[in-house]
Structure 1
Amino acid sequence: MSTTAVTQVGISSKVSSKNCAVACQNVSMNFNISKMTMSCCNTDLCNAKDAPDPSTNVPNGKKCFSCDGNSCSNIMSCSGTEDRCIKATGTFGSQSWVVKGCVSKSVCDATALVPNVDGISCCEGNLCNGAQSVSQSFLFLCCSLLSYFLLH
C-alpha cells in the first residue's frame, strides 16, 4: 500500500508512506484541513509510486458538512472517490469531539473496526451529515482513522 496525507493547519504538511498490509482497500478521506488517500496493489514492489496527492483531486459534485473550531456548519466539496459524508463523535478524557467530512465507501465499510471512536456514521446524500456544532479534537480522530488504515 501507499498512503499520502496532506494537512493544512497554518502551514501545509505532506507525508507519504509505503508499507505492506494484510488487507487493504483504496481509501480517500477529506476533513477539509486534513486529506488522505491510500492506494493498494498486490504484486511485489508495486507500491513504488506515491498514492495520489489528495489535494489535487478533482471535485465530484458531492457536498458535505465539515467542522472548524466549534462550528460544524461549513460546507465542503468532496473530490475523487469520496462518495459519502461522514460524522464521527467520541470522547477523549473529559473532552467531547465531532468531525465531519467526505470519505470513500471503503472507509464507511470499515468503521466498526476503528478504535477509540464511539460513533461513526456515513450517509450518501448531499449535506446528509448535519450541521450541529460540538467541541472537538480533530487530530485525535484523524490519527485514529489513519492508524487503523495504516496498521490493518
Structure 2
Amino acid sequence: MSSTGVTQFGDTNTKVKSKDCALACQSGSLNLGYLKTTTSCCNTDECNLQDAPDPSNIPNGRTCYYCDIQSCTNTLICSGTEDHCIQITSTFGGQSTVVKGCASKSLCDGIEYDLGVASFSCCEGNLCNGAQRVTQRWEL
C-alpha cells in the first residue's frame, strides 16, 4: 500500500507519504476536516513504487459532519471520490471519542464493523452521520 496524507492546523499544512505492506487494504480517500488521506493498494512485489495521489480538493456536492476539539456539528464539503459520510467511535480508558468526516465507498466497504473498543459506520446522503452534540475530551 501507498498513502498520502495532508494535515492542516491553522495556516500550517503538512504532507506525509508512506509505503508499507498491509494485511487488509482498501484504496480510497478519507477526509476528517483536519486530515485528508488517500490510499492505493496493490498485490504484487514492490507494486507500491508509485506514491498514492494527493487528496483531491475538487468538491463533489456531498456534505458530512466532522469533529473538532469543541464539537461534532461542523460541516465538511467532501471532494473527489468521497461519496459517503463516516463516523468512528472509540473507547479507551472509559473515555469515548468520536471522529466524523467524508470517505470513499471503497473504504466504507472495508471497515464497517464494531471491534468492541472502536466502531466504524458509513452512510449515504448529506449530513447522514448525525449532528448529535458530542463533547470531545483531549488529554496531552
TM-score class, shorter: 0.7 to 0.9
- Indicate yes or no: 2:127 matched with 1:127: yes
CA contact under 8 A between 1:63 and 1:76: conserved in structure 2?
yes
Query: Following TM superposition, by how much is the alpha carbon of 1:125 offset from its aligned partner in structure 2, in angstroms?
Result: 0.6
Cα RMSD (Å): 2.2
TM-score normalised by length of structure 1: 0.77
1:46 is paired with a residue whose SS is coil
Structure-2 change in CA distance of 1:7 and 1:78 (3 Å): same
Query: Following TM superposition, by how much is the alpha carbon of 1:113 offset from its aligned partner in structure 2, in angstroms?
Result: 6.9
Alignment of 1:49-64 (within 5 A): 49-54=50-55, 56-64=56-64
Number of aligned residue pairs: give it: 136
Runs of 4+ aligned residues of structure 1 deviating over 6 Å after TM superposition are none
Structure-2 change in CA distance of 1:43 and 1:137 (3 Å): farther
Give the AA of the match of 2:43: N
Structure-2 change in CA distance of 1:57 and 1:113 (3 Å): farther
Query: Following TM superposition, by how much is the alpha carbon of 1:22 offset from its aligned partner in structure 2, in angstroms?
Result: 3.9
Q: Deviation per CA, 1:1-59: give whole Å up to 9, x if none.
A: 111111112432211111233443212110000111101223443322211111x4321
Q: Deviation per CA, 1:85-132: give whole Å up to 9, x if none.
A: 011223221322211100112222223276741x32211011111112
Structure ranking higher in helix proportion: 1
TM-score normalised by length of structure 2: 0.83
Distance in 2 between residues matched to 1:134 and 1:93, nearest whole Å: 17
Structure 1 gaps, min length 5: 139-152
